[in-house]
A and B are shown apart, each in its own frame.
Chain A
Amino acid sequence: MANWTQTSQKRLQSILSVETWLPDTMPEYAQGFMYMLGSLTASSFVVLVISGLVLAANGPASWSYNGAMRFVAATHFWGVQAFFFFMMLHLWRVFFTGAWRGGRGLTWLVGSIALLLAIPTAFTGFLINGDLYSEWNAVQAKDGLNALGLGWVNLTNAGQMFGMHVIVMPLVLAFFIGLHITRVRLKSVVPPYPDKSSPETRIQMRERGR
């Protein structure tokens, strides 16, 4: 059996390399605002983690009696909006550029899982806010969870929702976001579709035809 440590070293070499994470060159086609959307989504997640840490350290209801905490709650709220806004733009960009091509299917799948996980992550946050929106959505959404056999998730239990929103969901989501970004860095961003009118494609097509 192979040496586990050596196998790990080999596998982790590129994942942990500075060149992977801090590239000083990029493909010429990966320029401009369209190629900032993923980073803007990840940056929004960073803002959410930082504002979330401040909120968690002070308690989920602190916004209701402390002006400064209300401001932090506002940054968390708008951070969520930014996160989903940029994620949706990123989704449109990667869809319309067929970003799964060239062996990048897993990157796409992991990103889709992150999108799915982001929904309950945000939702549990709305539930621990304690306002009308919280109480309504807790009783309204329980029927769907119960129907799917997920009744152990008790949306009206603020303690369970606090744990879900502050620890469980962010960790799981961060794992999938991390995996997604790691795959993007290792595989780079997808190159353009071959354009039949370009000289390169004509040459490639001629070569393939031989």
Chain B
Amino acid sequence: MMDDVVHDYRMVPEDFVKHLTVTLVIVVIVVLVASMLFSVPEAKPLTIKQYAETNPVGFEEVALRALDGQGRIANYGPPYNHGTGNVESGIQQMVGILHPINAAQDFVLKPLAMAASINPAIRPPLKTFTHASRSRQVFWESQLSLALGHAYQRNGRVMLPSGEYGPLAPLLADTLNLGRSGLMSGALIRNSQVVTRFDNQNYLMFLQGAPLHGAVTPLQLKGTQWGIIHPAVKGYPGAWWMTIPTWIYQWPFVANSPANDAIALFLGLLAWLLLALTPWIPVWNQVPKWAGVYRLIWKRYYQEHQKPSDRLGDQGGARSVRSS
């Protein structure tokens, strides 16, 4: 059976250890020089404290959306909770809740309860809110949600138009104070079962909406901005090897779908399958032959094997047998 390879070639002397040493030395030199010249891109992280200090109105909006269940994580769905806001596939639903998040409790009410042990003034409004009927809570939440749209900050405090917010206005001001203190991170990532603090889930999930989106938009890091292939520090390379999946994210029918991640990753995996199964895909596996780039790569081989004199010269050398 014809296997589309030449069988007529010589084996020539090779110092393989030297070859490997040379490639290793090349990489070591390139890496050391790049490290000395360019160091490493480290973009200052966005902290809850920083966000609370620089954007108090936005901070209270984030806290309120966690409290009223309108936030993306509060209403996400599996694997965090029973929400429906971000369920992209049946398999996501089947996996169930693996990393439970009750945004109202975990992001706001529990941290406030902890802060109340230091500042007892937090306790009365907290008690009023938690003991109120759900309909009353929803009323306060909706009133405050509207009001925050017209709020402004003065000396780091959120100034609200007058309205019926019940205990929510002081509670959100207390949450803001907790955020500004830097203590909120401890309240969010605490785990009474273990003392190690590996899991940053609730810290990052608190920031994941408007705060992080606002921070990365100027850096072109959002998915719709070809995000993953861009660096967080201008001038450095990003994860450019993700260009194809990122490109798929930009396709209008993917970008506009509520299941954009599921579709983009599925199509990305199909693209990988096309690559991985190349040897067995008819027509596609002939493309390199038709492209003819191999003639450049093996230019010398073809030149030498076109000369009849080389054929004579070859006869005395080590000749390969089928190498497959």
Q: Which residues of A contact B (CB under 8 A)?
A: 22-29, 31, 34, 36, 39-40, 42-44, 46-47, 51, 63-64, 70-71, 73-75, 77-79, 81-82, 84, 86, 88, 93, 95-98, 100-105, 108-109, 112-113, 115-116, 118-119, 122-123, 126, 129-141, 143-144, 146-149, 151-152, 154, 156-160, 162, 187-188, 190-195, 197-201, 204, 208
Q: Are A139 and B204 neighbours in the complex by a CB distance under 8 Å?
A: yes
Provide the residues of chain A in CB contact with B23, threshold 8 Å.
36, 39-40, 42-43
- Would you give the shortest CB distance from A115 to chain B, in whole angstroms? 8
Interface string of B301-324 (1 = CB under 8 A from A): 110111010010000001010111
Residue of B nearest to A148 (CB): B265
Is B35's CB within 8 Å of the partner chain A?
A: yes
- Would you give the shortest CB distance from A130 to chain B, in whole angstroms? 7
Among the 9-residue stretches B125-133, B141-149, B270-278, the one with 4 or more Cβ atoms under 8 Å from chain A is B270-278
Q: Are B98 and A151 neighbours in the complex by a CB distance under 8 Å?
A: yes
Of the candidates A24, A93, A122, which one forms a contact with B239 in the assembled complex, judged by CB atoms under 8 Å apart? A122
Q: Are B88 and A192 neighbours in the complex by a CB distance under 8 Å?
A: no
Provide the residues of chain A in CB contact with B94, threshold 8 Å.
149
Q: How far is the CA of A16 from the CA of B278 in the complex (A)?
A: 29
Main secondary structure of the interface of A (DSSP, over half): helix
Provide the residues of chain B in CB contact with A193, threshold 8 Å.
4-6, 289, 294
Is B86's CB within 8 Å of the partner chain A?
A: yes
Q: Are A102 and B40 neighbours in the complex by a CB distance under 8 Å?
A: no
Q: Are B14 and A95 neighbours in the complex by a CB distance under 8 Å?
A: no
Residue of A nearest to B25 (CB): A43
Q: How far is the CA of A192 from the CA of B323 in the complex (A)?
A: 12
Listed A/B pairs (27) with beta-carbon separation below 8 Å:
A24-B13, A24-B15, A29-B300, A47-B27, A47-B31, A75-B35, A77-B41, A102-B5, A102-B323, A105-B280, A109-B279, A116-B272, A122-B239, A132-B232, A133-B41, A133-B231, A134-B45, A135-B46, A135-B212, A138-B204, A139-B212, A146-B79, A151-B98, A152-B79, A154-B99, A159-B196, A199-B305
Q: How far is the CA of A153 from the CA of B12 in the complex (A)?
A: 49
Residue of A nearest to B204 (CB): A156
Interface string of B174-198 (1 = CB under 8 A from A): 0000000000000000000000101
- Would you give the shortest CB distance from A141 to chain B, in whole angstroms? 8
Q: How far is the CA of A198 from the CA of B301 in the complex (A)?
A: 10
Interface string of B253-286 (1 = CB under 8 A from A): 0000001011011100000100111111000010
Provide the residues of chain B in CB contact with A40, threshold 8 Å.
23, 26-27
Residue of A nearest to B237 (CB): A81
Q: How far is the CA of A40 from the CA of B207 in the complex (A)?
A: 40
Is B121's CB within 8 Å of the partner chain A?
A: no
Q: Are B3 and A101 neighbours in the complex by a CB distance under 8 Å?
A: yes
Q: Are A162 and B89 neighbours in the complex by a CB distance under 8 Å?
A: no
Q: How far is the CA of A166 from the CA of B98 in the complex (A)?
A: 23
State whether A188 and B198 are in contact (beta carbons under 8 Å apart), knowing that A131-B42, A199-B308 are contacts in the complex.
no
State whether A195 and B14 are in contact (beta carbons under 8 Å apart), knowing that A144-B262, A147-B262 are contacts in the complex.
no
Q: Are A28 and B10 neighbours in the complex by a CB distance under 8 Å?
A: yes
Chain B residues touching A, range: 35 or more
Is B118's CB within 8 Å of the partner chain A?
A: no
Q: How far is the CA of A170 from the CA of B99 in the complex (A)?
A: 25
Among the 9-residue stretches B104-112, B151-159, B162-170, B220-228, the one with 4 or more Cβ atoms under 8 Å from chain A is B220-228
Provide the residues of chain B in CB contact with A113, threshold 8 Å.
276
Q: How far is the CA of A190 from the CA of B294 in the complex (A)?
A: 11
Of the candidates A95, A115, A151, A199, which one forms a contact with B79 in the assembled complex, judged by CB atoms under 8 Å apart? A151
Of the candidates A46, A96, A103, A200, which one forms a contact with B288 in the assembled complex, judged by CB atoms under 8 Å apart? A96
Residue of A nearest to B79 (CB): A151
Provide the residues of chain A in CB contact with B320, threshold 8 Å.
27
State whether A96 and B275 are in contact (beta carbons under 8 Å apart), knowing that A36-B19, A133-B231 are contacts in the complex.
no
Q: How far is the CA of A13 from the CA of B16 in the complex (A)?
A: 20
Q: How far is the CA of A34 from the CA of B13 in the complex (A)?
A: 18
Is B216's CB within 8 Å of the partner chain A?
A: yes
Q: How far is the CA of A62 from the CA of B129 in the complex (A)?
A: 43
Provide the residues of chain A in CB contact with B205, threshold 8 Å.
139, 156
Q: Are A156 and B301 neighbours in the complex by a CB distance under 8 Å?
A: no
Of the candidates A34, A147, A198, A208, which one forms a contact with B265 in the assembled complex, judged by CB atoms under 8 Å apart? A147
Q: How far is the CA of A144 from the CA of B249 in the complex (A)?
A: 11
Q: How far is the CA of A27 from the CA of B322 in the complex (A)?
A: 12
Provide the residues of chain A in CB contact with B24, threshold 8 Å.
43, 46-47
Q: How far is the CA of A146 from the CA of B288 in the complex (A)?
A: 37
Q: Are A108 and B9 neighbours in the complex by a CB distance under 8 Å?
A: no
Is B200's CB within 8 Å of the partner chain A?
A: yes
Of the candidates B198, B228, B289, which one forms a contact with A158 in the assembled complex, judged by CB atoms under 8 Å apart? B198
Q: Are A126 and B31 neighbours in the complex by a CB distance under 8 Å?
A: no
